Amino acid sequence: MRVAITGAAGLFGYGLAQVFQSGHTVYPLTRADADITRADEVESVMTRIRPEVVIHPAGIPDLDICEADPAKAYLVNVHGTRFVVEAARRIGARVAYISTDAVFDGLKRTPYTESDTPRPPTVYGRTKLRAERITLSTPESWAFRVSVLFGPGKTNFIEKGLRRIASGETYTVAADQVGSATYTLDAARKIREVVEARRYGLYHLSNSGPCSRLELAQRAAELAGLDPAKVIGKPSDQMRRRAQRLKYAVMEMTALQANGFSLPRPWPETLKEYIASLSEVKTKAPAARP
pLDDT tens across 8-59, in order?
999 999 999 999 999 999 999 999 999 999 999 999 999 999 999 999 999 9
Nearest CA to 150 among 197, 217, 54?
217
pLDDT of 285 strictly over 90 = no
The length of the chain in residues reads 290
Confidence of residue 288 (pLDDT cuts 50, 70, 90): very low
**What is the model's pLDDT at position 239?**
84
Q: Fill in the amino acid letter for 5.
A: I
CB 220 within 8 A of CB 148: no
The CA–CA distances, whole Å, from 258 to 57, 199, 200, 203, 221 equal 24, 11, 12, 10, 36
Rounded-to-integer distance, Cα 265 and Cα 250, Å: 15
Strands (E), 151-280: 171-174, 178-179, 181-183, 201-204, 211-212, 231-234
**What is the model's pLDDT at position 290?**
30
Rounded-to-integer distance, Cα 178 and Cα 191, Å: 24
Domains in the chain, CATH or no CATH each: 2-149+182-207+249-265 (3.40.50.720)
pLDDT tens across 87-136, in order?
999 999 999 999 999 999 999 999 999 999 999 999 999 999 999 999 99
Dihedral angle at the C-alpha atoms of 196, 201, 202, 208, nearest 10 degrees? -40
Number of neighbouring beta carbons within 10 Å of residue 11 = 21
Number of neighbouring beta carbons within 10 Å of residue 283 = 8
98's enclosing H/E stretch is strand 94-100
Dihedral angle at the C-alpha atoms of 211, 173, 288, 275, nearest 10 degrees? -20
**What is the model's pLDDT at position 281?**
43
Nearest CA to 218 among 165, 168, 282, 283?
165
pLDDT tens across 196-248, in order?
999 999 999 999 999 999 999 999 999 999 999 999 999 988 888 889 999 99
Greatest alpha-carbon pair distance for the chain in Å reads 54
**What is the model's pLDDT at position 289?**
31
pLDDT tens across 147-192, in order?
999 999 998 999 999 999 999 999 999 999 999 999 999 999 999 9
For the residues 267-271, what does the mean pLDDT come to? 97
Rounded-to-integer distance, Cα 239 and Cα 233, Å: 10
Rounded-to-integer distance, Cα 107 and Cα 199, Å: 30
**What is the model's pLDDT at position 284?**
43
